[in-house]
Structure 1
Amino acid sequence: MLNKYPLWKYILLIVAIIIGGIYALPNIYGEDPAIQIQGTRGANIDLATNDRIRNVLVANNITNAVSDWNREQNSILIRFNNQNEQLAAKDILLNELGKDYIIALNLAPATPFWLRAINAEPMKLGLDLRGGVHFLMEIDTDTVLLKLQDQISDSAKDAIVAKKIEIQKIEKIDGFGIKMQFETETVRNEALASVSNLAQQFTATAVGNNEITFIPSAARIAEAKENALVQNLTILRNRVNQLGVAEPIVQRQGTDRIVVDLPGIQDTARAKEILGATATLEFRLINQNVSSVNIAKGRIPADTEIKYDRNGNPVALFKRAALTGDHINDAKSSVDEKGLPTVSITLDSAGGTIMQKVSQQNLNKPMATLFVEYKEGTEVDERGRPILEKHEEVINTANIAGVFGSQFQISGLDNPAEARQLAILLRAGALIAPIQIIEESTVGPTLGAQNIAQGFKASLWGFISSVIFMLVYYRAFGFIASIALTINLVMIVGVMSMIPGATLTMPGIAGIVLTVAIAVDANVLIYERIKEELKNGRSVQQAIHEGYKGAFSTILDANLTTIITAIILYAVGTGSIKGFAITTTIGVATSMITAIAGTRAIVNLRYGGKRIDKLSI
């Protein structure tokens, strides 16, 4: 029978509309001022911590705060009634908790629990609508040059030792250079000849009777700084991906600074921790010839240094790392057969080759995993900013029981939260040089509420104009199209809210306004085709059937070309262009459902299978 849908089609449409409506609901609720508290490495957050925080706030007359402990993320989110309480609570908690915890201001969606239980969250708004988190980071260039100094020392030493020339003394000098002392002038000259092929790395100059200085050139220093900046940019972008942020901005500023803008980010404490962390690993062999007695007396060989585990026990490690975290491709937290937290490491091909060689040459010898991290110290520089201090800790020692390559595990971690955090940092990449967050702010909207109000007005007036036109020109069928148009807008919001990381910007609102016109255009094509069929003498039922059938191919072609264009814009565009492409694609897809299937379902219910002589169209 013409113009009749089977029951399953009606059910499918109703289910789709209900799901879209439910996931659009969180957008009608506001946001609560909040504080995000994140435990740093080794600082676990449990119910006792939650109770301690609550008691401190109550003691300071902040009684209406609501805390939410997230065991998986090792964090607590505290909601407040107003921003005054939020700001006061931050100062109180900073004094109470100290540096073991990251405390950051936040805005938490006020979504009811029953919606959060099904992962229904409001749309994330871009910096131009809602704001987000802004970081200005500065690279510690001194650390970059100190690493260059070590590289020069290793390169020169390897070249000289390869010629069986004995070095009596090595020391660091100003200008990030190295000075080596030899027994005689003749030996010194032989050493100078052995490093002649390394002139591109440094300038080697004979001084005194038996010494050589190795100074990096200005070009080599500039290259080291540039490489550190570029590689840190890449690593920070990888870390932003770990946060699941859409349309981030990660770009350089000058020669040693990086700007990171995270639109719509909710977990600002996690963003600060992941982006600012400078953790990496070094795998070093243990010098078994150094006894505890020698350590106590300070009798340490020149190629060895003392590091400590978390219990304060000294470990004698060779200065030269067998492998660094630069070769880590992947890291996953897990538990071993004893149920203890571990991190499974996967190395790149070069790292696997190095580790295989090291394990082969040092079977049954002990190797340590050294955790290296830079933290803000108590001292400040001439600009008043905290100076980064290097913290090192041996987190694991084990004998090399067999030859292994690109895959192995490290253990000795305190808890699963620490294992997860370490895995994320290693997976995202170890920073080539430590960076310091010198400016942090929760950015307000660009042009603030004015942008949101204008975007809303544009959408509203576009919608009202379309509805008025449809009602006046197509009467009853125009009313049906208006219902479909309303459902279309709800579904766009619902789908945008369901997509993880999708961010709405001002150009995105323009995309929504555009899809309103596209949805109406589809109904215009259908209705004009119905009117044409009626003029040609078709019956009402046949005209409706042929109208939808005849217009479908035209609508499909037009929408497909729009979607293809939007996909190309998303592929080649950046920032706000991608926002426009996303909303346009979603809007076109939902308008296909509502303008064709949706209106057809209503028309079939109203007119299908009935004897009708005249249509209100």
Structure 2
Amino acid sequence: MLQRKRSTPPFWRRCNVSYIAMLMACLLLAISALPNLFPDQSWLHIDNPQRGNVINMHTLTESLNHEGYQVAKGIESHDEFALLLKQPSDSANALSFIKTHFSESKSKIVAHSTSPQWLQQLGLSPIKLGLDLNGGVLFVLDVDLDKAMQEHLTSIYLQSKATIRNAKAHGIRVVQAKDAVELHVLKNAEDNLAVVLNDIQSRFTGLIATSEHRDSLTKILLKYDAHSQNLFNKQVMAQTLTTLRGRIEELGITEAVTQRQGKQRIRIELPGVQDPAEAKRIIGATATLDFHQVVEAGGNPFNVQGGGVVNLDPEAIFSGEHINNASVSKDEWGKPLVQLSLDSVGGDAMSAFTKRNIGKPMATVYSEYSRNAQGEVIKQSNVINIANIAQHLSSRFSITNMQSPQAAYDLALLLRAGSLTAPVTIIQEQTIGPSLGAENIENGLAALMLGIGITLAFMALWYRRLGLIANIALLLNLTALVGLMSLLPGVVLTLPGIAGLVLTIGMAVDTNVIIFERIKEEKRKGRATYQAIEQGYNQAFSTIFDANVTTMITALILYAVGYGPVKGFAITLALGLVTSVFTGVYVSKALSQTLYLKLTNARGVKS
């Protein structure tokens, strides 16, 4: 009995959900990689509220050209100027020149994308370049955790004095020791001890109290054990990282890398920054702001900025940690001032204090840490402002009598970003020029192109038709990897990252070689080509998966313990493993089966 020969179904009928998902993933990653064909341009934005009276576009352009910063293009809008320099590497120096000679105008560097509008509307941008490719500045900061603990114990000491005074706990005296706070309690005052201890321990969690009894005196030792001190150090490091990131954002640097390095060090990479002076001034400043009551007798003496000494209540009304926002403005005489906005805790403290002390003076104390010639960290505090409280204040008020607009600007920036609770010292500083970064990019891309070219030629000559499929998968892998690195936030491409790209190409080829050799073995066993392809991919998958998992573990370890370029290499390697498996196994298999089916249909060969 004759039967009709069943032909192989066309490809479009065999398309299932997995094929469509692979196609959509490749399309998405390819679109994500497109912005890398359109490099960003760095524009200088100059805000000029008094445009007609201060500067104009012609004056600004002529001044920059005269200093050697050649302006390629200028755009004037309603309230600002935008300038594009012929040499992008001059942007940082030109910005410093503008701030020095046109201090009335705020200026910043803004990265403008040159990609098509539809890509920008999708929120897509090129890969962020690291320090060794884009040039910039590297800082390594040391955080003095011991000094932070001493300052914390001082706060406990001052709060203990206030608690004893408010509770009227006579017979209890507080003494500050080297690494603890002591409460000396007379026998007739032991009834008040529980109230004082409960208040202190509720304000400072983790504080442990141990007692020592004598004939007429009980000594209570308040200190942190090893676990609590460890937790305190972690909190200080986390707060320092958060504050430094806030300061960097205030400087307008969006591609910075700020990470912890070791126990008490922080590594900061600022790509694209060529003039480290401003960044160093802001990042390295360990500034705090406190508000104290001026007292006529007693208290602690403080130096007044500009000369003189004043006595202040050692207990602050509130500190800079309660400041939500700070902005620069001018008073009715045109002098600079800083407008402050407090949170609810700071607002309540300010309201309660000023309500009781209208007509009395209040001082603003600016404190900064520095190292002396012996390398010791010292705290320098100066009164920057003394003003009589004219009315009941709450969460909004101003600091006047600032020395200069730049001083007001720096103070507002530091207060917006937050004050550091621990002293930080810059122990390493390195500047990488943009020309070196451009040379690294050129050499890295040349190595990448050479590696890809040799690999494509080898696969095409050795495996012929299957080699063509491997080459297509290889190019898709590179595109997918670039698209994935562009899509994920926080991924930065470094020079070792380019080495990771080259390594990924080699690993992707290894995947195809393993699969194709399996296919050859299956064909030698007498299997049909389509079955050999199916079995080859299925049998090779476990080997490929095991090899990639072990490499992924290494990449994760490098990412966890590495810094800077090492971390960049680890990120590229890990993402490259994911894209290699995706394109080398799944996409390559779909292409192989599709090509074989089309050839068999065209020749009428039975599978």
* TM-score interval for Structure 1 and Structure 2 normalised by the shorter chain: 0.5 to 0.7
Per-residue Cα deviation, 1:33-68 (whole angstroms, up to 9, x for no partner): 54466xxxxxxx577669956454246486644469
- Partner of 1:98, secondary structure, is coil
1:282 aligns with 2:277: no
Aligned counterpart for 1:18 among listed residues 24, 27, 31 = 27
- Partner of 1:111, secondary structure, is coil
1:549 CA displacement = 2.6
Q: Read off the aligned partner of 1:507 and give its amino acid letter.
A: P
Aligned counterpart for 1:452 among listed residues 408, 433, 441 = 441
1:505 aligns with 2:490: no
Q: Given the superposition, is the C-alpha separation of residues 504 and 152 from structure 1 closer, same or farther in structure 2, using an over 3 Å criterion?
A: closer
Q: Distance in 1 between matches of 2:234 and 2:352?
A: 35
Structure 2 match to 1:81: 86
- Partner of 2:28, secondary structure, is helix
Asked if structure 1 preserves the Cα contact closer than 8 Å seen for 2:240 and 2:421, the reply is no
Structure 2 match to 1:28: 37
1:604 CA displacement = 3.5
1:560 CA displacement = 2.5
1:585 CA displacement = 1.0
Structure 2 match to 1:262: 269
Q: Distance in 2 between matches of 1:390 and 1:511?
A: 54
Q: Read off the aligned partner of 1:133 and give its amino acid letter.
A: V
Aligned counterpart for 2:457 among listed residues 444, 468, 484 = 468
1:595 CA displacement = 1.3
Q: Read off the aligned partner of 1:98 and give its amino acid letter.
A: S
Aligned counterpart for 2:135 among listed residues 131, 145, 149 = 131
Q: Given the superposition, is the C-alpha separation of residues 477 and 447 from structure 1 closer, same or farther in structure 2, using an over 3 Å criterion?
A: same
1:94-493 aligned at under 5 Å gives the runs 94-98=99-103, 101=106, 108=111, 111-112=114-115, 114=117, 115-134=119-138, 198=177, 236-242=240-246, 243=249, 247-248=257-258, 261-264=268-271, 275=283, 280-282=288-290, 320-325=315-320, 345=343, 365=356, 391-392=384-385, 410-412=395-397, 429-432=418-421, 443-444=432-433, 448-493=437-482
Per-residue Cα deviation, 1:77-122 (whole angstroms, up to 9, x for no partner): 6422236985885465234432874x57x68465335244433322
Q: Distance in 2 between matches of 1:278 and 1:134?
A: 18
Q: Distance in 1 between matches of 2:140 and 2:483?
A: 34
1:396 CA displacement = 11
Q: Distance in 1 between matches of 2:589 and 2:462?
A: 18
Asked if structure 2 preserves the Cα contact closer than 8 Å seen for 1:370 and 1:396, the reply is no
Q: Distance in 2 between matches of 1:61 and 1:200?
A: 56
Aligned counterpart for 2:98 among listed residues 93, 96, 100 = 93
1:547 CA displacement = 2.4
1:510-525 aligned at under 5 Å gives the runs 510-525=499-514
Asked if structure 2 preserves the Cα contact closer than 8 Å seen for 1:533 and 1:543, the reply is yes
Asked if structure 2 preserves the Cα contact closer than 8 Å seen for 1:3 and 1:544, the reply is no
Q: Distance in 2 between matches of 1:490 and 1:395?
A: 66
1:516 CA displacement = 0.9
Q: Distance in 2 between matches of 1:581 and 1:84?
A: 29
Q: Distance in 1 between matches of 2:458 and 2:96?
A: 56
Unaligned ranges ≥5, structure 2: 1-7, 66-70, 182-232, 305-310, 327-338, 369-379, 400-409
1:596 CA displacement = 2.0
Aligned counterpart for 2:565 among listed residues 570, 573, 576 = 576
Per-residue Cα deviation, 1:559-593 (whole angstroms, up to 9, x for no partner): 23322321222123333222121001111111122
Asked if structure 2 preserves the Cα contact closer than 8 Å seen for 1:518 and 1:591, the reply is yes
Q: Distance in 1 between matches of 2:594 and 2:116?
A: 37
Per-residue Cα deviation, 1:194-222 (whole angstroms, up to 9, x for no partner): 898858899xxxxxxxxxxxxxxxxxxxx
Give aligned pairs, total: 490
1:260 CA displacement = 5.8
Q: Read off the aligned partner of 2:123 and give its amino acid letter.
A: N
Q: Read off the aligned partner of 1:121 and give its amino acid letter.
A: S
1:394 CA displacement = 8.3
Q: Given the superposition, is the C-alpha separation of residues 346 and 471 from structure 1 closer, same or farther in structure 2, using an over 3 Å criterion?
A: farther
Asked if structure 1 preserves the Cα contact closer than 8 Å seen for 2:351 and 2:395, the reply is no
Asked if structure 2 preserves the Cα contact closer than 8 Å seen for 1:395 and 1:413, the reply is no
Asked if structure 2 preserves the Cα contact closer than 8 Å seen for 1:134 and 1:261, the reply is yes
1:6 aligns with 2:54: no
Q: Distance in 1 between matches of 2:547 and 2:74?
A: 51
1:41-56 aligned at under 5 Å gives the runs 54=57, 56=59
Asked if structure 1 preserves the Cα contact closer than 8 Å seen for 2:448 and 2:501, the reply is yes
- Partner of 1:121, secondary structure, is coil
Q: Distance in 2 between matches of 1:449 and 1:132?
A: 12
Structure 2 match to 1:603: 592
Per-residue Cα deviation, 1:588-617 (whole angstroms, up to 9, x for no partner): 1111221122223323432237448899xx
Q: Given the superposition, is the C-alpha separation of residues 461 and 614 from structure 1 closer, same or farther in structure 2, using an over 3 Å criterion?
A: farther
Asked if structure 1 preserves the Cα contact closer than 8 Å seen for 2:64 and 2:94, the reply is no
- Partner of 1:564, secondary structure, is helix
1:466 CA displacement = 1.8
1:555-570 aligned at under 5 Å gives the runs 555-570=544-559
Q: Given the superposition, is the C-alpha separation of residues 369 and 586 from structure 1 closer, same or farther in structure 2, using an over 3 Å criterion?
A: farther
Q: Distance in 2 between matches of 1:391 and 1:247?
A: 34
- Partner of 1:119, secondary structure, is coil
Q: Distance in 1 between matches of 2:553 and 2:559?
A: 10
Structure 2 match to 1:496: 485
Q: Read off the aligned partner of 1:262 and give its amino acid letter.
A: E
Asked if structure 2 preserves the Cα contact closer than 8 Å seen for 1:508 and 1:579, the reply is yes
- Partner of 1:133, secondary structure, is strand
Structure 2 match to 1:290: none
Q: Distance in 2 between matches of 1:429 and 1:122?
A: 31
Unaligned ranges ≥5, structure 1: 38-44, 165-193, 203-228, 288-298, 309-315, 334-340, 376-386, 401-408, 415-420
Q: Read off the aligned partner of 1:82 and give its amino acid letter.
A: Q
Per-residue Cα deviation, 1:373-426 (whole angstroms, up to 9, x for no partner): 679xxxxxxxxxxx99764588999969xxxxxxxx944589xxxxxx999966
1:275 CA displacement = 2.5
Structure 1 match to 2:187: none
Identity %: 32
- Partner of 2:539, secondary structure, is helix
Asked if structure 2 preserves the Cα contact closer than 8 Å seen for 1:20 and 1:495, the reply is yes
State the TM-score, normalizing by the size of structure 1: 0.59
